[in-house]
Structure 1
Amino acid sequence: MTSYMKYYETLYLIRPDLEVEDYKGVIEKYHKIIEANNGVIINVDEWGKRSLAYNVERFRDGFYVLVRFCGEPDLPDKLLKDFRLDESVLKYIVVKLKDSVDPEELKQGDTSSASEANKKEEVKAKDGSK
């Protein structure tokens, strides 16, 4: 039996003055919140440290993390509550991408699209084109 869930994406900005283990701990904290609330993480994309267009709480840069996940309708509110209380997170947003999806289908699709993108990059690199 297939269980359908809502499909979300969250992008959050972690303060740049954290140690590596603290930075990883923040990411792990939000993974645990998603999983503890019966959510399914589809994809995590750590963009790394990037410059900001303007100062945010006196910082000119920060670590960006993009997470795509499936969950029940109350999960984004739980994440937002924790984001608001967490001093390690400078900015955050949660967006609903789709109303009803099968998480297993998304996981399979995400893996295949990632491998296709890697193959395209390899082809470009081999023939010397950019």
Structure 2
Amino acid sequence: MRNYEVMYIIKPEVEEEKVTALMEKFKSVVEEKGAEVTKLDKWGKRRLAYEINKIKEGIYVLMQFKAEPAASAELDRVMKINDDIVRHMIIREGE
């Protein structure tokens, strides 16, 4: 298994309970593929470095997990189709 880290930004107008639900949803997506989530950290609302689609701030979330490549591919697919995610990036640690 490989170590991965994903940082994603949720739209700022999303309610707190939906943010928690999204965090749990993405966690369960990787766990269903046999991954182990080692860290799930909500950074809170922060200003973006630059405006993205007229959005100036977002809710940052960091998740680290150990998984096979299929789990990160599935997470990427799910995040791309979610309208509440402004931007996301998945990296493989150790390279």
TM-score bracket, shorter-length normalisation: over 0.9
Could you say what secondary structure the match of 1:74 adopts? Answer: helix
- 5+ residue gaps, structure 1: 100-130
Give 1:9's match in structure 2, choosing from 5, 8, 14. 5
Aligned to 2:78: 82
3-state DSSP class of the match of 2:7? strand
Q: Which runs of 5+ in 2 are unaligned?
A: none
Aligned length in residues: 95
| Structure 2 counterpart SS, 1:92 | strand
- Letter of the aligned partner of 1:24 in structure 2? T
Q: Using CA pairs below 8 Å that are at least 6 residues apart, which structure has the higher relative contact order?
A: 2
Aligned equivalent of 1:57: 53
Paired residues for 1:98-109 under 5 Å: 98=94
1:12 aligned counterpart, secondary structure: strand
Give the 3-state SS of the residue equivalent to 2:13 in structure 1: coil
Instruction: Report the alpha carbon displacement of residue 56 of structure 1 after superposing the two structures with TM.
Output: 1.4
State how far apart, in whole Å, the 1-side matches of 2:66 and 2:94 are.
Answer: 9
**C-alpha displacement of 1:34:** 1.0
> Cα distance, 1:98 vs. partner?
3.7
Residue 91 in structure 1 maps to residue 87 in structure 2? yes
Q: Kindly indicate which of the two structures has a greater share of residues assigned to helix.
A: 1
Residue in 1 that maps onto 2:15: 19
How far 1:57 sits from its partner (Å)? 2.1
TM-score, length of structure 2 as denominator length: 0.94
Greater fraction of residues in strand: 2
RMSD: 1.2
The one-letter code sitting in structure 2 at the alignment partner of 1:60 is: K
The normalised TM-score by structure 1 is 0.70
Correspondence 1:35 to 2:31: yes
